[in-house]
Amino acid sequence: MTLLTAAEFPQDEVRLRARTGSAAVFPPVADYGSAVYGQPPAAASGDRLDHMRLVPPIFTPERLAKLVELGREPSYQDVALETDIGGLRSTLPLYVSALGSTTAAARIGAAVARQAACLGVPMVIGENVAAADGYRTRDGARSLAQRVETYLAAEKRGLGGVVVQQSTEDADAELWNRIYSDPATRPLLDSGRLAFELKLGQGAKPGLGGMTMVNGTDGARLAGRYLVDSDVDLDVDPDVGADGGAATGLLRSSTPGTFTQEILRAQIRLLRNNFPRARIWIKLPPTRDVGEAARLAWAEGADAVTVDGAEAGTGWAPTSFLQHVGLPLADCLGRVRPGSRCLLVSGRMWEGARAVKCMALGARAVGLGRAALLAVDESDADGLVRLVRCLELEMRLLISALGRYRPGALSAEDIWPHPGEGPVQDGGAS
């Protein structure tokens, strides 16, 4: 099985980075000395983040302060990228976004975990994994515990961590209780590197729960726990029998959960009381009240709020949702005002400029979803590592060019134009 992405995601560029690493940050080496480069034509994308520009200043007082500190002219290598991400210390301001129970994520989930651990960045395990593939199976293949234990076996620096989502169906099986009391996860608890993420929705399909296509056998097994809709006429199931005969594809859906302000407050308090040693993350979809929900979550003590833009990926969703539902990430950033609190964002993240723009607009870190899967699909040995090394180099170059030397020093004045506002005026953002 080869992992594919829809046309709006730059699959070829991500795979190139997973193969060649930081060399992909620059034009082809063979062109050096014989080609002259300039700004390419404006992209046709309707994504406003793509059309925003990073705007370095001439006068750089922070660079002067760094020069005095170092006793020499600072360079991009002096940018410090280690970041606190929702209570988890990370080598970089990025994490691996929630990868759930889809076939693609299950097939390479352990390789993703190993490479994320080697990089020292947090990894989120998405909803429904334990329900679909088991919490801990006899051979360990595809299970939730396999991803956790692979991460623990590969980590070397005591950085990063594991974040576990649970859906309403996972909650019925008391997934968080099981993880919190599992001796195998004790090293994460003892080092403060375990977090639980309460999911209120996701970017690609706000208002819907997780969806996958299952065969008849799995549909019968899961029918008591999920909605399995035999009336939806889907294409041939991917798990075709050995004889080549087609099987009926069934739509399996989880419920989106029901929330009011008081229900969210109660859920966060329950997390704090029942799992006091775990960090609390809240994942929000790109809704019109995303700012209100984020402020409520932080007020109740959430360590991080994660926001998916409508550009975020998913394994399976109605095309009408992908095309017409949810706020773009730039608009979400305009509605959520994190201040000093931890905002994490995801949605078409794969290169440094988009990541730095998001951090200038208030995000603490960015999440790799489809890009992480594509990179590991390209090379299960080091594809994600190579992709992240590209991002790391780009972030250092861009942040340094803006006269900053840590991601937290970025601000809206580094962006033109700011979402929902006019062009940047002389002296700063309007």
Phi, psi of 73 (to 5 degrees): -65, 130
In the predicted model, what is the mean pLDDT of residues 61-77? 97
Give me 22's structure tokens. 């930081």
**Lowest mean pLDDT segment, chosen from 208-217, 243-252, 379-388:** 243-252
Closest CA to 83 of 426, 273, 356: 356
CA distance 246 to 226: 23
Band (pLDDT 50/70/90 cuts) for residue 91 is very high
The predicted structure's pLDDT at residue 235: 59
- What CATH number belongs to 78-206+277-416? 3.20.20.70
| 279 and 87 Cβ atoms separated by less than 8 Å | yes
DSSP assignment of 146-174: HHHHHHHHH--SS---EEEEE-HHHHHTT
CA distance 213 to 217: 12
Residue 241 scores a pLDDT above 60:
no
Instruction: Identify residue 128 by its one-letter amino acid code.
Output: N
- Strand 94-99 relative to strand 365-368: parallel, antiparallel, unpaired? parallel
Domain ranges of the chain: 78-206+277-416, 212-252
Question: pTM for the full model?
Answer: 0.89
CA distance 10 to 330: 19
Could you say which DSSP state residue 243 is in?
T
What residue spans of 214-260 are helical by DSSP H? 216-222
The predicted structure's pLDDT at residue 300: 97
DSSP helix/strand/coil, 194: strand
